[in-house]
Structure 1
Amino acid sequence: MKLSDGVEQAMHSVAMLASLAEDQVLSAAALAEFHGVSQSYLLKHLQAMSRTGILGTVPGPKGGYRLARPPDEISLLDVVLAVEGGEPAFRCKEIRRNGPNPVADSFFTAPCQISAAMLRAERSYRSELRKVTIAHLLAEVQRDDDGTLEARSCAFLDANVRIIGRSGTK
């Protein structure tokens, strides 16, 4: 199975937003710059995550994005489904019914064995992604970091974070 580049970009953006305080946001431009990706492509995925309740938005020229839920309540599956949609990766077209020498429909009453196997694999894949939260990933990164990654992120955040006030942005 191949996931779009948007999934990776979305996961890294959510991880970065997890480090913000409640009154802070980051713009799509800042997130795109930090990750070295296309702002317009990333924006599409940030908007999808906003629609699904992963991200919150503050509108306006001084607005931006922040998490709508705590990092321990956002799973990798949540992000994948927001970006890729909820359809299974494998969609059986029942091609076993095609071709020459057709057989009776009674041979096709049970689901295709290939489709059944692929759907079992999809359930396992989703189950594993559901177990991993953004908080879990951040704890792993922090455990393995010698301070270099944290310093890089902090310097960027210091220069790009936007503070929002009670009645809007500052």
Structure 2
Amino acid sequence: MNEGVEWAVHSCLNLAWLGDERAVPAAKLAGFYELPAAYLNKQLQALARAGILTSTSGPRGGFRLARPPEKITLMDVVAAIEGEEEAFRCTEIRHRGGSDSGVRSKTPCEIHTSMRKAELAWRRELASQTIADIASSVEGHSSAAPERVRRWFDDTRT
């Protein structure tokens, strides 16, 4: 999984704490974590295409959540950034070279079956957690986090 997923989840979390009263430019979101703005913008655009964020152009433009944080799952974010493809792709190497007895098996590859089972469990777990859940957990450890985010974004307004 590429680091864009982490950046996207953090951006969604910050946007949740900022509320939907303002759009936040990609450069401002990137500046909070000292990330490259152009690369983060690609992640934010992917989130917008997936309907997780809305994008507004112009001098007061930027990004905001397209739906409530309770309606955005970690799986939504992962799928928007990484795509919907399975993480493991079985290429049926069991039928190559000296391992192939000449008889094609009609049963699924056990390795593929095991990997698919694990991936489905992973996807279910990510789908069960929302941005709101993450926000609540962070706030449980650091109740000042939302205010610190809001203050930083307010103090650095252009």
> Into which bin does the TM-score normalised by the smaller protein fall?
over 0.9
Which string of whole-angstrom CA distances, capped at 9 and with x for unpartnered residues, describes residues 53-81 of structure 1?
00001111320000001000000000000
Partner in structure 1 of residue 150 of structure 2: 154
Partner in structure 1 of residue 121 of structure 2: 124
**Could you tell me how far 1:143 is from its partner in structure 2?**
1.6
**Could you tell me how far 1:100 is from its partner in structure 2?**
2.7
Q: Are residues 1:112 and 2:109 paired? A: yes
Partner in structure 1 of residue 63 of structure 2: 65
CA distance in 1, matches of 2:53, 2:81: 12
CA distance in 2, matches of 1:31, 1:101: 52
Partner in structure 2 of residue 46 of structure 1: 44
**Could you tell me how far 1:25 is from its partner in structure 2?**
1.0
**Could you tell me how far 1:156 is from its partner in structure 2?**
1.2
TM-score normalised by length of structure 2: 0.93
Question: Which structure carries more strand by proportion?
Answer: 1
Which string of whole-angstrom CA distances, capped at 9 and with x for unpartnered residues, describes residues 35-69 of structure 1?
11111111111000000000001111320000001
TM-score normalised by length of structure 1: 0.87
CA distance in 2, matches of 1:77, 1:101: 37
**Could you tell me how far 1:99 is from its partner in structure 2?**
1.0
Question: Which ranges of 4 or more aligned residues in structure 1 deviate by more than 6 Å?
Answer: none
CA distance in 1, matches of 2:55, 2:118: 35
**Could you tell me how far 1:141 is from its partner in structure 2?**
1.1
CA distance in 1, matches of 2:60, 2:50: 23
Provide closer, same or farther for how the CA distance between residues 68 and 146 of structure 1 changes in structure 2, counting only shifts above 3 A.
Answer: closer
Preserved CA contact (<8 Å) 2:17 2:146: no
Provide closer, same or farther for how the CA distance between residues 20 and 155 of structure 1 changes in structure 2, counting only shifts above 3 A.
Answer: closer
Q: Are residues 1:77 and 2:75 paired? A: yes
CA distance in 2, matches of 1:161, 1:133: 28
Provide closer, same or farther for how the CA distance between residues 46 and 5 of structure 1 changes in structure 2, counting only shifts above 3 A.
Answer: same
Identity of aligned residues (%): 42
**Could you tell me how far 1:125 is from its partner in structure 2?**
0.2
Provide closer, same or farther for how the CA distance between residues 140 and 96 of structure 1 changes in structure 2, counting only shifts above 3 A.
Answer: same
CA distance in 1, matches of 2:128, 2:146: 25
Give 5+ residue unaligned stretches, structure 1.
Answer: 163-170
CA RMSD of aligned residues (A): 1.6
